[in-house]
Amino acid sequence: MFGGPDSHLARLVDEAGLETKSIPGNRMGLAVNGKVVASGAPETYPLRLPLSPAARLSFIKSGLKLRWAAQGFQRAARRQIGESASAARARELAYRENETFADYLGVMHPEVEAIFRAIAERITAEPHEITAGCGAGLFAVVWDSNLTLARNLIGGSALLPLTLARHLGSRIVTGAAVEEVVPEPTGARIRVRVAGRVRDVSAKYVIAATPAYVTHRIVRGLPADTADALARIPYGPFVCGAVLTGESGPMPWDDVYAIATPGKAFNMLFNHANVLRGSGPREPGGSLMVYGGGDLGRRLLQMTDGQIQEAFLRDLSTILPEVKDVVREVIVHRWEHAIPYIAPGRHRLQPALERSLGNVLLAGDYLGFPEMEVAAVTGLEAARTARGGLAPVEGAQSRVLERVQP
Ligand SMILES: Cc1cc2nc3c(=O)[nH]c(=O)nc-3n(C[C@H](O)[C@H](O)[C@H](O)COP(=O)(O)OP(=O)(O)OC[C@H]3O[C@@H](n4cnc5c(N)ncnc54)[C@H](O)[C@@H]3O)c2cc1C
């Protein structure tokens, strides 16, 4: 999911000549006890799902608390006039950071706890592992389409890095593994392995846009607090199943985008073709995606791809029975370190991560609430700093950079 037209990512998409479209379908569906509710206001779900009276009451109570916290997160995430993006990131990370999401929600009915666990696992962690602010943020990003992630990239998200790589042509090298970055008085030396051969490259600036644990491993000479902060960013696992379907006409899930699926072999089910189902004729075929994160992801990682595929398809057909006849292909993908999550105490690491490190500049989603927008913004900030210290390069394109707000 991508942000709205005001996001930096949208500008990048635009520069790349790509297109995002608003997701028309419901982004907060729930499949519980054999029933899928994926329409209307989420506030009505406790009354429409087949739950016991005690579970309904528990769901209403926790739902209200969450609504309150999500609104607070939205306020915390809003950048003030004249404020730096870095200050806004720090405030967002500090929002309700002194208690875990599980503690904030309090004791819940087991069925309700399973619902919130399934949704927390979207960020690859359990409710007791993330801050209450992080849990609130997960809901905020789908609750309010003005704020956040409500668009899909036509053609699929992977099109963005592929297109950027194509536009950059010979100016970038892909498939190159950096083994170390050694700061030097006037720049840095990078040891890189390309096609099995190790090369040393010198650079005036290095933008380390690798995940925190990789940056910790490859960048030498970091101040102790920065190295420690990088090592302390936790990542959780995801196991995904992409399901290609070959239906020839409309399907019951056409107007749904996302369904949380507590108690299944996956936590979430997405209909990635939903963005194409607005107006106009309904094209044949479709694309569904499921994933399991957090503890469920860890259990899935122990299984073979065949076992995962079988479990995914079995549970998928209990939620969307019509899927059985139309599955054409399933691809299982494993991420052991999929997404960095925000654990209590995380905001105290921020000064060590945002400090100046001379000619080595850090970028990546782990520097804020983990999503593509933070990766894009921190990348642009780093690029602007580097450009400020470099002599202009003839013919270099910097249209996006010029529009980055300080
Ligand atoms: C299943 C899934 C669904 C998601 N859905 C969304 C969503 O809907 N919306 C959203 O905003 N975000 C989503 N995210 C999160 C989003 O993908 C990340 O926040 C974003 O990709 C982070 O970008 P990044 O550049 O910081 O890190 P990455 O995308 O992880 O990029 C780091 C890069 O560093 C490279 N690398 C690692 N080690 C080395 C090395 N030694 N040398 C050279 N290169 C190296 C890696 O190959 C990788 O290309 C999702 C993530 C997953 C896993």
Q: Over the stretch 245-276, which tens digit does the pLDDT of each residue have?
A: 999 999 999 999 999 999 999 999 999 999 99
The Cα 152–Cα 234 span in angstroms is: 27
Q: And the tokens for 377? A: 């913004």
Do 286 and 359 reside in the same domain of the chain? no
Can you tell me whether residue 148 is helix, strand or coil?
coil
| Res 403: pLDDT | 45
The Cα 306–Cα 290 span in angstroms is: 15
For residues 328-337, give the mean pLDDT.
Answer: 97
The distance from CA 127 to its chain's CA centroid, rounded to whole angstroms, is 17
Nearest atom in ligand 1 to the alpha carbon of residue 333 is: 1
Q: Does ligand 1 have an atom closer than 6 angstroms to the CB of 230?
A: no
What is the pLDDT of the chain when averaged over all its residues? 92
Do 120 and 180 reside in the same domain of the chain? no
Do 304 and 376 reside in the same domain of the chain? no
Do 145 and 31 reside in the same domain of the chain? yes
By alpha-carbon position, which residue is closest to atom 46 of ligand 1? 210
Do 254 and 285 reside in the same domain of the chain? yes
Q: Are 121 and 294 in contact (CB under 8 A)?
A: yes
Do 331 and 355 reside in the same domain of the chain? no
On whether residue 270 sits in a domain, the answer given is yes
Do 366 and 219 reside in the same domain of the chain? yes
CA 334 – ligand 1 centroid, Å:
13
CA 287 – ligand 1 centroid, Å:
21
Domain end among 114, 149, 184: 149
For residues 355-367, give the mean pLDDT.
Answer: 96
Q: What domain count does the chain have? A: 3
232 pLDDT exceeds 70? yes
CA 129 – ligand 1 centroid, Å:
21
Q: Does ligand 1 have an atom closer than 6 angstroms to the CB of 338?
A: yes
Please list the residues that pair with 201 across neighbouring strands. Answer: 190
Q: What is the H or E stretch that residue 11 is in?
A: helix 8-15
On whether residue 190 sits in a domain, the answer given is yes
| Res 146: pLDDT | 53
| Res 157: pLDDT | 93
Q: Domain with 333 in it: what CATH number? A: 3.90.660.10
| Res 396: pLDDT | 53
pLDDT digits over 383-406, tens only?
A: 999 998 887 665 555 444 444 443
By alpha-carbon position, which residue is closest to atom 26 of ligand 1? 364
| Res 144: pLDDT | 63
Reported ipTM: the value is: 0.98
Radius of gyration of the chain (CA): 22
Q: Are 385 and 86 in contact (CB under 8 A)?
A: no
On whether residue 302 sits in a domain, the answer given is yes
Nearest atom in ligand 1 to the alpha carbon of residue 176 is: 43
Domain end among 285, 318, 340: 340
Q: Does ligand 1 have an atom closer than 6 angstroms to the CB of 160?
A: no
Nearest atom in ligand 1 to the alpha carbon of residue 375 is: 26
User: Which residues, 6 or more positions from 66, have their beta carbon under 8 angstroms from its beta carbon?
Assistant: 105, 116, 135, 136, 139
| Res 139: pLDDT | 85
Do 127 and 199 reside in the same domain of the chain? no
Do 258 and 191 reside in the same domain of the chain? no
Do 177 and 277 reside in the same domain of the chain? no
CA 379 – ligand 1 centroid, Å:
12
On whether residue 158 sits in a domain, the answer given is no
CA 55 – ligand 1 centroid, Å:
37
Q: And the tokens for 82? A: 């004249």
On whether residue 178 sits in a domain, the answer given is yes
The Cα 72–Cα 76 span in angstroms is: 6
How many percent of the chain have pLDDT more than 90? 81
The Cα 139–Cα 288 span in angstroms is: 21
CA 208 – ligand 1 centroid, Å:
13
On whether residue 219 sits in a domain, the answer given is yes
Do 334 and 286 reside in the same domain of the chain? yes
For residues 132-146, give the mean pLDDT.
Answer: 80
CA within 13 Å, CB half, 221: 13
| Res 196: pLDDT | 93
Higher pLDDT, 80 or 202: 202
On whether residue 405 sits in a domain, the answer given is no
By alpha-carbon position, which residue is closest to atom 34 of ligand 1? 210
Q: Does ligand 1 have an atom closer than 6 angstroms to the CB of 178?
A: yes
By alpha-carbon position, which residue is closest to atom 30 of ligand 1? 211
Q: Does ligand 1 have an atom closer than 6 angstroms to the CB of 400?
A: no
The burial of 391, by beta-carbon neighbours within 10 Å (0-12 exposed, 13-18 middle, 19 or more buried), is given as exposed
Do 323 and 257 reside in the same domain of the chain? yes
Mutation probe of ligand 1 site: the residue of 341, 371, 378 with most atoms within 8 A of C-beta: 371
In terms of average pLDDT, the best of 22-36, 78-92, 231-245 is: 231-245
Query: What is the residue range of 181's domain?
Result: 173-234+348-387
CA 316 – ligand 1 centroid, Å:
26
282 pLDDT exceeds 70? yes
179 pLDDT exceeds 90? yes
CA 325 – ligand 1 centroid, Å:
34
The burial of 288, by beta-carbon neighbours within 10 Å (0-12 exposed, 13-18 middle, 19 or more buried), is given as buried
Lowest mean pLDDT of 28-37, 273-282, 304-313, name the range: 273-282
Domain end among 116, 149, 182: 149
On whether residue 19 sits in a domain, the answer given is no
